[in-house]
């Protein structure tokens, strides 16, 4: 392990808050690189993880809203509409659990 790797590991092990902040910043950079907003990237990742953990079933709008920490479902609806417009998901509004990720969407 190089000196920088050892230092990074020590910081991660001794300061979880700093490690979480670094993870948040790196996630934001990844979102921007993919052409999505941070919230869109978070929603897409949550949908992907939820479907992986629930045999392909989609989360509800309410579950996505809670996960993102939003106060209303209208914000989630806007995010999902934008993801659909960007061809990241297929989604049929007013149809429960109808979200599916488009193959190859990142």
Tokens of 7: 């230092």
The domain made up of 37-106 has a fold known as Arc Repressor Mutant, subunit A (1.10.10)
Sorted by where each begins, the domain ranges of the chain are 1-33, 37-106
> Residue 105 — pLDDT band, cuts 50, 70, 90?
low
> For residue range 28-75, what is the model confidence (pLDDT) as tens digits?
666 565 788 889 999 999 999 999 999 999 999 999 999 999 999 999
For residues 25 and 31, what is the distance between their CA atoms, to the nearest angstrom?
A: 10
For residues 48 and 100, what is the distance between their CA atoms, to the nearest angstrom?
A: 9
Does pTM surpass 0.75? Answer: no
pLDDT at 58: 95
pLDDT at 23: 72
């Amino acid at each position: 392990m190089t000196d920088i790797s050892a230092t990074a590991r020590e910081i991660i092990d001794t300061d979880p808050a700093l490690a979480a902040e670094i993870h948040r910043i790196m996630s934001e950079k990844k979102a921007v690189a993919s052409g999505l907003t941070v919230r869109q990237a978070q929603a897409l990742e949550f949908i992907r993880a939820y479907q992986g953990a629930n045999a392909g079933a989609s989360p509800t709008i309410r579950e996505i809203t809670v996960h993102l920490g939003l106060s209303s479902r209208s914000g989630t609806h806007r995010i999902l509409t934008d993801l659909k417009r960007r061809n990241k998901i297929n989604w049929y509004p007013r149809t429960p659990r109808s979200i599916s990720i488009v193959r190859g969407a990142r």
